[in-house]
Structure 1
């Protein structure tokens, strides 16, 4: 699958614990549980998001975000997938991925954002998400490396990143800290 195809026919990915399906308006109520979770908000990566911290407390605000995410898909800015439990069909959160074009050393890198309800901010769930990304996103997004953020207190996320082959970037990404990287093998 190539970059242009992923924006015309968004794939569904299935891991051992979760599946990823493009976010839809019908996910609004289920995703509000994640985005209204005050314990989850500190784990969200809102770098370069114009001040949005992704803490949403109303269905209307959640719906507006999903409409923006769908607008962004249509215009090939990024893709948001809903993270769905394979066992319960519960919506656990979302991921975002895009191919970054910039005049810096991270040009043509993929940026992965992971937003999970705090109950699901666990090493097994995050590892399953990362395994899907590692197996599919280099080719799907035509990137040579994937960057993602994990704050120092995100111990479950950092454990999952380490187990999936990610390592600390060791320097700022743009003006931001706490990024991890994995390069295509």
Structure 2
């Protein structure tokens, strides 16, 4: 298996495709990151105060620059989520293998950022299917953590259906995390 940081794969399902985020995505991704309804669902935990609400193309490009730097530095991978029918870029997802001196050592952390109109079960179901089919192996993790605040009802319904369970305790200092183990 190739190192994901050497060659970033493209993943495709019926509704969506994941492709590594590129600077050319900035204009369309700004629709997601300037969507006030969507921002509340983004996971900005441990992101040095960045809440991922961007109002200018310059700020969106700075974020993509940082994501690309992080990829080259092997910190995390950020993919653009593309609607197959229209080629519209509707958000991003991020994944990394976490190394830490706590009970969540060697877990994957998944961030899902979607425009509010795409924060729907069919889209989230496919995101989670791609994750389940590929990310345990390519990131070498046995469990994946992701955040879903109580207001994220569509996301929580999809997570539960895909056998994610609330951890019912803090992850670092943060609440509202769900976990899925590879063989569950």
Q: TM-score, normalised by structure 2?
A: 0.98
Shift of 1:175: 0.7
- 1:43 pairs with 25, 37, 41, which one? 41
Shift of 1:170: 1.2
Q: Which residue of 1 aligns with 2:70?
A: 72
- 1:182 pairs with 173, 180, 184, which one? 180
Q: Which residue of 2 aligns with 1:138?
A: 136
Shift of 1:165: 1.2
Separation (CA, whole Å) in 1 of partners of 2:54 and 2:164:
30
Shift of 1:100: 0.1
- 2:28 pairs with 20, 27, 30, which one? 30
For residues 113-132 of structure 1, the aligned pairs below 5 Å read 113-132=111-130
Separation (CA, whole Å) in 2 of partners of 1:104 and 1:26:
38
Secondary structure class of the residue paired with 1:6:
coil
Separation (CA, whole Å) in 2 of partners of 1:163 and 1:93:
22
Structure 1 segments (4+ residues) deviating >2 Å: none
Separation (CA, whole Å) in 2 of partners of 1:88 and 1:140:
28
**Is the counterpart of residue 108 in structure 1 residue 106 in structure 2?**
yes
Instruction: Provide structure 1 residue ranges, at least 5 long, that are not aligned to the other structure.
Output: none
Counting matched residue pairs gives: 183
For the aligned residue pairs, the C-alpha RMSD in angstroms reads 0.6
Secondary structure class of the residue paired with 2:67:
helix
Q: Which residue of 1 aligns with 2:169?
A: 171
